[in-house]
Chains A and B, each alone.
Chain A
Amino acid sequence: MAKVTVKDKPDLLLDIRNLRIEATVYPPGEPPRDITLVHDVSLSLKRGRVLGLIGESGAGKSTIGLSSMGYGRGGVRITGGEVILNGRDILKGGKSGLRKLRGREVCYVAQSAAASFNPAHRLMDQVVEASLLHGVANRAEAEKRAIALFRKLSLPNPETIGNRYPHQVSGGQLQRVMTAMALCSEPDLIVFDEPTTALDVTTQIDVLAAIKDAIRDTHVAALYITHDLAVVAQVSDEIMVLRHGRLVEWGGTRQIIKEPRQEYTNALVSVHEITHQEQKPGTNPALSVKNVTASYGGGRVKVLKNVSVDIYPGQTLAVVGESGSGKSTLARAITGLLPPEQGSVTFGGRKLANRLADRPKEDLRQLQMIYQMADVAMNPRQTVGTIIGRPLEFYFGLRGAERDRRVAELLDKIEMGKGFIDRYPAELSGGQKQRVCIARSLAAKPKLIICDEVTSALDPLVANGILKLLLELQKEEEVAYLFITHDLATVKSIADSIAVMYRGEVVRYGPKSQVLTPPFDAYTDLLLSSVPEMEIGWLEKAIKGRRMESAGN
């Protein structure tokens, strides 16, 4: 599949000059106005090179990436600058010029392949569609090429996987099929928009390796958009750091991660060690899960097998594992949403009723939960005041001024001002939403809070702030956490003890220092070695050193 570089094509593939992108916003109570999302950013990319675009959400990285195909997502307008691709300004080519270019010269790999494929068509039809439409190849040739790409991306059964529908393959495989789709029409440039962010760590490493190999062998150039510096360090030749739509720093990968010149880059690069002294397990656990077995579908699908863990007052137990390992189901069994079939849950010395409906209010109060997606965990029609105030009314019977005073206190605790009381969730940022959820659970004065992937939907710097807040609150309120996550870096920074789950079973359990000390079992080793490190060449080393295959979710 090596691409023959045509002599007359210039070596400089993409040259974006002074790109300015604007959008119209409709702020509450004010007339609509235009805001600038991207401020005069310039970049250039040579044939066959990979440029990583990194930054937090709202940095404009996706917007800039998509401008290379002349596309503005969600009413965004390109209002200034030039996008020169293969020697011509594509912004001047009009609609038909763009149509010729998209899918032929520039292709796109979306963040969520599961949401981007049409569920009603077979994969093969979607993979070859662009090649056929642009007349690059006839159907037989295109399919042959697609199969070769499936093989290169190490998909199982490359000959027949194209006959499947999107829901019949796993998330990691789908992301690779999407990469094959982008490569099929032999474009000059591919825009990867966070292609591994939605995947498990153990799967991310496979997809990353497949993408890297494919880029190397086809000599395609790529813009790789992500917020994870460790990931981008593995695949790109150069890195561009963006913030608030402005260029912060642009340089070679080694220079950016080893010798960042700007303070902001340094903040991104430096590992966010949160110093947390591990606490020794006490004698009386706050919550004790004994031999719990649970299943869905009336006993047909066992999702928890004989799970036993203890959580001590004021301490944190981290439950780690990939998707489908049963870690969220453990939370559902503890809260009573999924009554366990066998085993018991003891809380504060008394046995908890299996079913949620049978538990007294006092048990419910002492056991609170924080969700992964803060924006769906809050009623969009209630104000922050109602959201935080309701547990106060419900559990403590606080009303009126007394309630408002306590709400203000809680807002203060989560480092948000009084002014937020009348806001609706849609008017908050992602980090603020999660803080409000934390305040809601704290309002009940619980003994234990279950945190279900509370930081995985957030930007690294915001997530770091949330973790610090949780640790501080733990010290003040003496509350214990059951922390469910797939992110081992998080675990290392906040846990006191760790339970590693795999296919519904606890495979490794103990104090943090003990769990993270070799010798490891095969699965813990896979999990630990799959966490990307900010080091060039880490990917190859990690792939070589693995002892077992990942599940591919």
Chain B
Amino acid sequence: MLDIRKIPLGALIGLILTSLFLIAAIFAPWIAPYGLGEIVGSVWEPPSSTFLLGTDNLGRDLLSRMIYGARTTIFIAVLATALSFILGSVLGFAAAVIGGWFDTLTSRFVDLMMAIPTLIFALVVLSVLPSNVVTLILVMGLLDATRVYRLSRAVAVDINVMDFVEAAKLRGEGEVWIIFREILPNALSPLVSELGLRFIYAVLFLSALSFLGLGVQPPEADWGGMVKENKDGIVFGIPAALIPAAAIAALAISVNLVADWILNRTTSLKGGRG
């Protein structure tokens, strides 16, 4: 069914990199050479055979922290993106199909949320609420859901006036069928491309929060936090901060390469047979 030779080069690179990141994230305790908070050497040691990527500002193994960091970063980003998509698209589709007061109410509420700069909103909420993983996921997911809501509502409004949706309404179908069976399959293409972008925004947002000290709390590792911990080294020519930064960039690109490829496959109206 899926022929590996037919996968374009870009998608292949994206798939390989993404799966490497995922494997690192899932099997972190078995792969990482040292423990997460274990101080094993001196401060900012250069890469060597014992410490493949060197050590960080406290003398912890950078590679181990990168691997554990992948786990935290990807876990939070995936859950936040999933939350934002499920919430945003279901509400967006419902607003388009039901219309009337429901549409007005949700749309204006979303406008209100979007009027406040996301980062500031998150900073305020996170400084009040206890800073743990659940709060982080909820805050990130809810804030991102406003973007997904707007996109899916716009797409669904267009689809909702098509004759086949009218035919379904004349048949007497309920809202659930119309949203999930008539509109969702046709709205999937823009949503999938948005999914890749949103996931990356979630990673970047989490990194930004951690960098500001409101995200993942030490000694837990995440890539954004690691950039913060090691940023002072840059002045002394020590690249420890650039490694997590590069990982963020690599993840961003590879996930989007995969998303683009999925997008290409799902836009076919002939069941992917063409």
Binding site for B on A (CB under 8 A): 26-29, 335, 337, 356, 359, 361, 364-365, 368-369, 371, 373, 376-383, 390-391, 394, 422, 424-427, 440, 444
Q: How distant is A377 from chain B, measured CB to nearest CB, in Å?
A: 4
Instruction: Write 14 A-B pairs (CB below 8 A) sorted by A numbering.
Output: A28-B274, A29-B273, A335-B170, A356-B169, A365-B172, A373-B163, A378-B164, A380-B186, A381-B185, A382-B185, A390-B171, A424-B269, A426-B269, A440-B167
Contact of B170 among A364, A381, A390, A427 (CB under 8 A): A364
Total A-B residue contacts, Cβ distance less than 8 Å: 61
Contact with A along B263-274 (1 / 0, CB 8 A): 000000111011
Q: Which residue of A lies closest to B159 (CB)?
A: A379
CB pair A391 B171 closer than 8 Å: yes
CB pair A364 B171 closer than 8 Å: yes
Which residues from chain A contact B162 at a C-beta distance below 8 Å? 376
Q: Give Cα A440–Cα B162 distance, bound, in whole angstroms.
A: 17
CB pair A26 B186 closer than 8 Å: no
Which residues from chain B contact A381 at a C-beta distance below 8 Å? 185-186, 269
Q: How distant is B63 from chain A, measured CB to nearest CB, in Å?
A: 45
CB pair A376 B164 closer than 8 Å: yes
Chain B contact patch, size range: 20 to 34
3 pairs of A and B residues whose beta carbons are closest in the complex: A381-B185, A28-B273, A426-B269
Q: A376-B162, A377-B167, A381-B185 are known contacts. Are A394 and B270 too (CB-CB below 8 A)?
A: no
Contact with A along B161-192 (1 / 0, CB 8 A): 01110111111110000000110011000000
CB pair A377 B164 closer than 8 Å: yes
Which residues from chain B contact A444 at a C-beta distance below 8 Å? 171
Chain B contact residues: over half helix, strand or loop, or mixed?
Answer: helix
Q: How distant is B161 from chain A, measured CB to nearest CB, in Å?
A: 10
Which residues from chain B contact A377 at a C-beta distance below 8 Å? 163-164, 167
Which residues from chain A contact B171 at a C-beta distance below 8 Å? 364, 390-391, 394, 444
Binding site for A on B (CB under 8 A): 162-164, 166-173, 181-182, 185-186, 269-271, 273-274
CB pair A376 B270 closer than 8 Å: no
Q: Which residue of B lies closest to A378 (CB)?
A: B164
CB pair A337 B172 closer than 8 Å: no
Q: Give Cα A505–Cα B274 distance, bound, in whole angstroms.
A: 49
Q: How distant is A497 from chain B, measured CB to nearest CB, in Å?
A: 24
Q: A371-B163, A426-B269, A426-B270 are known contacts. Are A379 and B185 too (CB-CB below 8 A)?
A: yes
Q: How distant is A157 from chain B, measured CB to nearest CB, in Å?
A: 35
Which residues from chain B contact A359 at a C-beta distance below 8 Å? 172
Q: How distant is A179 from chain B, measured CB to nearest CB, in Å?
A: 32
Which residues from chain B contact A368 at a C-beta distance below 8 Å? 170
Q: Give Cα A382–Cα B270 distance, bound, in whole angstroms.
A: 10
13 more A-B contacts (CB under 8 A) besides A378-B167, A425-B269?
A26-B274, A28-B274, A356-B169, A364-B170, A364-B172, A369-B170, A373-B163, A377-B167, A379-B182, A379-B186, A381-B186, A426-B270, A427-B270
Q: Give Cα A139–Cα B246 distance, bound, in whole angstroms.
A: 59
Q: How distant is B160 from chain A, measured CB to nearest CB, in Å?
A: 12
Which residues from chain A contact B163 at a C-beta distance below 8 Å? 371, 373, 376-377
CB pair A424 B172 closer than 8 Å: no
Which residues from chain A contact B166 at a C-beta distance below 8 Å? 337
